[in-house]
Structure 1
Amino acid sequence: MNENLSGDAREMLDLIDGQQRRVDRGLRIPVVWLYTVWAVAWLVGFLALYFAQLGLFDPVAAGIVFAVLIVGSIVASAVIGSRIGRGVRGDSQFAGTVYGVSWSVCSVAFALLGIGLIAEGMPGDLAGIYFPSAYALMCGTLYLAGAAVWHDRLQLVLGLALLVVGAVAPFLGLGPNLLLMAVAGGVVFGAGALVTLRTLSPQR
């Protein structure tokens, strides 16, 4: 009888373990897509702006490409984020909601700051340095916040990397700073996608 009870307990633990792995996998797969979407947006978007700066691409078209990619990424993030948070309740739901809203609120705040600086006489070349670095610093800071909330070391590393990129880029001047953003964004977010993909627990 004890052997039967022991066997039932093992089966129950295996069942719970399997369910936990499926839940974990279900939460992590959307994160892979999030990182991938942003990797493509930063790489292609900033390359378009860089080529426009070199005179190899129409500036208006480059601006449209960049805007479409960034707005599309924000929309995709909102949709994927809502799916990740579906079914979550309590403090985790509140933290996730505040964190998600923070991206939109901070984006608008940094944009308004830049527009205000332009209205006060900031030249276009300087604006081309301000906006990329401002958003890199914003993303880095929010990733640090995410790392603190969810105890996620990957977000900690990505956040620190983006902070370094945002702080260093202005010293390169307009043009090279855009190339740095393109390469660094593709590498940082792409690495995040690959690392998250590798941590997915195999299903039994």
Structure 2
Amino acid sequence: MSQDQTGPERTPADTPPEDDAPVDIAAMLALSTQQVRRVEDIFARPTISLVLIWGVAWFVGFLVLWSASDQNPWFQTPEAPAGIVFGSLMVGGIISSIVIGSGMSRGIQGAQRVQGTLYGVSWAVGCTAPGFLGGALLANGMPAESAALFFPAAYALVVGLLYLAGGAIWRDRIMYSLGVWTILVGVIAPYFGTPGNTLVMAFAGGGGFLVYGAILLVLRRRALSVHGRSDDRRATKPGER
């Protein structure tokens, strides 16, 4: 009796698909890096906006308050308009923080979305709290001169703590350092009395925000330029060079 030597017949399921390509590790790494950059940029843009908004609000607002005193050798701003300008700038900063913060993590999913949203809302909550606390103290007899020392210091401490939290969350040493600096400004400014504390808050506080915002803008543009050239080189095929 003859025996079939051809062996068992192979089925389509036993045959590896021909269109299975080997995993492109470089492409996967490039995609992962691109996604990380996208997330970083999503957080960078609103952060820069918040820093610059509060930098302008503090620099202009506290300078206006200082100009309402007799310490300004060039001109003097009436107290009522100065208070209105300062209050409007602070309210504008709080509203901007709410709007920007609520959309800070738009387009991101997962834990990072929750982090971004909570951090953005924290700005609005934190910057609103000193106003209510100070109002309660005024209602219970806090002198106006003490209030002029309390409010700037309280805002500086809150903002400084927010920057400390942000720097810790995103491991941003520059943001964390700005938080330390802002807290120091808030603690030191009252020692200059009134209206000297407003001048300290304007230049050391608001000026510090503006410098930090400028640094962030430069770093973001540099990163976009470097990553753009890198992506272009990666997308260029050898035969196209």
The TM-score bracket by the shorter chain reads 0.7 to 0.9
Match of 1:146 in 2: 166
Deviations 1:75-117 (A, max 9, x none): 2222222333102233323333333333333333322221222
| Separation of aligned partners in 1, 2:36 and 2:110 | 19
Residue number in structure 2 paired with 1:33: 49
- Map of 1:188 onto structure 2: 208
Tell me which of 43, 51, 55 is aligned to 2:67: 51
Residue in 1 that maps onto 2:87: 67
In 2, Cα distance between the equivalents of 1:43 and 1:198? 21
Q: Distance in 1 between matches of 2:32 and 2:111?
A: 23
Aligned-pair CA distance for 1:163:
0.7
Q: Which has the larger radius of gyration?
A: 2
**Within 5 A, what are the aligned runs for 1:1-204?**
9-10=25-26, 13-14=29-30, 16-18=32-34, 20-54=36-70, 56-200=76-220, 201-202=223-224, 203-204=227-228
Structure number with higher relative contact order (C-alpha < 8 Å, ≥ 6 residues apart): 1
SS of residue paired to 1:29: helix
Query: Which deviates the most, 32-41 or 192-201?
Result: 192-201
Deviations 1:40-91 (A, max 9, x none): 1110011011101238001111111111211112222222223331022333
The count of corresponding residues between Structure 1 and Structure 2 is 200
RMSD, matched Cα? 2.3
Q: Which runs of 5+ in 1 are unaligned?
A: none
Flag structure 2 segments of 5+ consecutive residues without an equivalent: 1-20, 229-241
Instruction: Work out the percentage of aligned pairs sharing the same amino acid.
Output: 43
Per-residue CA distance 1:130-176 (angstroms, 9 max, x = gap): 10001101111121122222222122111100110010011100101
Instruction: Give the corresponding residue for 2:238.
Output: none
Relative to structure 1, the CA distance from residue 35 to residue 109 in structure 2 (aligned partners, 3 Å threshold; closer, same or farther) is closer
TM-score, normalised relative to structure 2: 0.73
